[in-house]
Amino acid sequence: MYTQKVINIFKNPKNAGGLHGANATSKVTDNSCGDIIKLYLKINEDGIIEEAKFKTFGCTASIASSSMLCDMVKGLSIEEAEEITGNDILDELGGLPAEKVHCCELADEALHLAIDDYFKRLEKEQRKLEEN
């Protein structure tokens, strides 16, 4: 059912855990299956994603998708990260069973919401600076 690559990532999801100093986070829930992904990104002043971590309530595919996403975004600029789609994650995983493809979409949604969160935080900081 799952490829060896997916199982290996699932077995040792090296990107699992919280992230101290994260400045972009998101939490998404798949309304149909109930899986939950929490994503933490640390983005530096040049807009490069330095570190990415996740916490996931879900199946093998959700956990593997989350960890793969973190691997994929590390070192990317925000613009580059924004280009990532669920299909890209699926490709990097080497495929998933058909009924599990939606897990990649959930991971992708987490990424885009985390980037939104980053910009919101940035705006907030900017406003603070202006007010002072």
Question: Which residues of the shown chain bind other proteins in the complex (CB under 8 A)?
Answer: 2, 7, 10-11, 13, 16-17, 27, 32-38, 54-63, 99
Q: What are phi and psi of 34, to 5 degrees?
A: 95, 0
Tell me the closest approach of the beta carbon of residue 42 to other proteins, in angstroms. Answer: 18
Element (H, E) at 8: helix 4-11
CB 89 within 8 A of CB 108: yes
Is the Cβ of residue 78 or residue 101 nearer to other proteins in the bound state? 101
Active site residue 33: yes
Please identify, using beta-carbon distances, which residue of 99 and 123 lies nearer to other proteins: 99
Give 33 or 48: the residue with its C-beta nearer to other proteins. Answer: 33
Q: Which residues are catalytic?
A: 33, 103
